Amino acid sequence: MKLDRGLLLNFDWTLFILVMVITLIGLLNIYSACLSISIPGQTPYYIKQIQWIIIGFAGMTIAFFIDYRFLARHAYIIHGIAILLLFVVLIAGNSARGSQRWIALASFSFQPSEFVKLTIILALSKYFDAHQLSRGYRLKELLIPFLITIVPFLLILKQPDLGTALILLIIFLAIILFVGMDYKSTLMAAAGGLVMIPIGWHFLKGYQKERIFTFFSPENDPLGAGYHIIQSMIAVGSGGFLGKGFLKGTQTQLRFLPEQQTDFVFSVFAEEWGFIGGIVLLLLFLSLIIWGLNIMLHSKDYSGALLSFGITMLILWEVFINIGMVLGILPVVGIPLPFLSYGGSSLLVLMTASGILMSISVRRFLLQK
């Protein structure tokens, strides 16, 4: 088939290599982060992460070979399934640390909320591709995108998983701003948003409010939520310019930080590799994001442009919020660091999303407008 040959000839090696390099850095980092907590008789985290990388690679390959327009066409069904899984989680999911996020599948457990991050991009892309306007959208024209977002948003908030819910909201806002809103509607939405803040605050759980308070004065609660911020900043800061070296992060090996293999994984990296390592990692992310936006720019159709925009924004904001949290400039919310945090669902979703990006990238050479 002609298409197949084209897929390989025009393969986006830059994107592929960037993703794999960041993923492998993440793997080394998890190895270090979990060195001091390996439990005899239990599969070490880094081994599990390798298994997830292989699964993620499969997801990426499949996503690459499937035409993204096929995915876009079935976006509502896919998104619907993801929402259905969120219901399943609420009813029958496995609890961990007081929240229900996981569904156990054989020996793996996965988190439907991670998948929703991707399906929401698909669904919103389909909507705005199907309803293109040369002017800005009005509020009532955004009702369906709003519903696409709010349903999973509320389900995830109920889990409760503030971080993931926040990401959905950010993706929604980014895409709305991207497609453009009517001037009047923008003002109204902004006003409405301001009104919603105190109401939303009311619905936050005690510990969630506490985290936000804590963010402003971490020293007041050194054993609770502030502990993470302080320890994280000490770990990062003590890394200095050159870092303490691989496997030599004392804060890391001391297990000052709980969850250091997931949400706080960047502190491990920054402690051991220092400012130099941190900047290299940020540059890798920068390259990845710019490359993603480049794919958006050169996409042959609106659907591909929207999809690549959404995926790129997902990576950008997760990187910013996660690292910002670790560096003490944003409140602590549970958002994984793309490709680096331990956790199969996040990795699988992001690698699949990269596969979609590659699929868009390669098809700009194949599709004739």
**Residue 132 interacting with another protein (CB under 8 A):** yes
Dihedral over Cα of 125, 126, 128, 130: its sign: positive
> C-beta of 77: minimal distance to another protein in Å?
19
Report, in Å, the least distance between residue 85 CB and another protein: 29
Name the minimum Å distance from CB 232 to another protein: 10
| Residue from 20, 21, 28, 35 binding another protein (CB under 8 A) | 35
- Three-state DSSP at 102 gives strand
Query: In terms of Cα–Cα distance, which of 20, 22, 48 is closest to 34?
Result: 48
CA 284, CA 339: separation in Å to the nearest integer? 12
Burial of 304 by CB count in 10 Å (0-12 exposed, 13-18 middle, 19+ buried)? buried
Nearer to another protein, 1 or 39 (CB): 39
| Of positions 76, 146, 324, 365, contacts another protein by CB under 8 A | 324
- Quote the least distance from Cβ 320 to another protein, whole Å: 5
Q: How far apart are CA 352 and CA 303, in angstroms?
A: 17
Phi and psi at 74, nearest 5°, equal -100, 20
What is the Cα 61 distance to its own chain's centre?
A: 19
Give Cα 258 to chain centroid, integer Å: 20
Q: What are phi and psi of 96, to 5 degrees?
A: -145, 130
Q: In angstroms, give the least distance from the CB of 112 to another protein.
A: 28
* Contact between 230 and another protein per CB under 8 A: yes
Q: Verify binding: residue 366, another protein, rule CB under 8 A.
A: no
Shorter beta-carbon distance to another protein: residue 82 or 325: 325
Per CB under 8 A, 40 contacts another protein: yes
Nearer to another protein, 130 or 147 (CB): 130
CA angle 295, 79, 340 (to 5 degrees): 55
Give residues in contact with another protein (CB under 8 A).
35-36, 39-41, 130-134, 140-141, 178, 222-224, 227, 230-231, 233-241, 247, 250-251, 253-256, 270, 274-275, 278-279, 282, 285-286, 289-290, 293-294, 296-302, 305, 309, 316, 319-320, 323-324, 327-329, 369
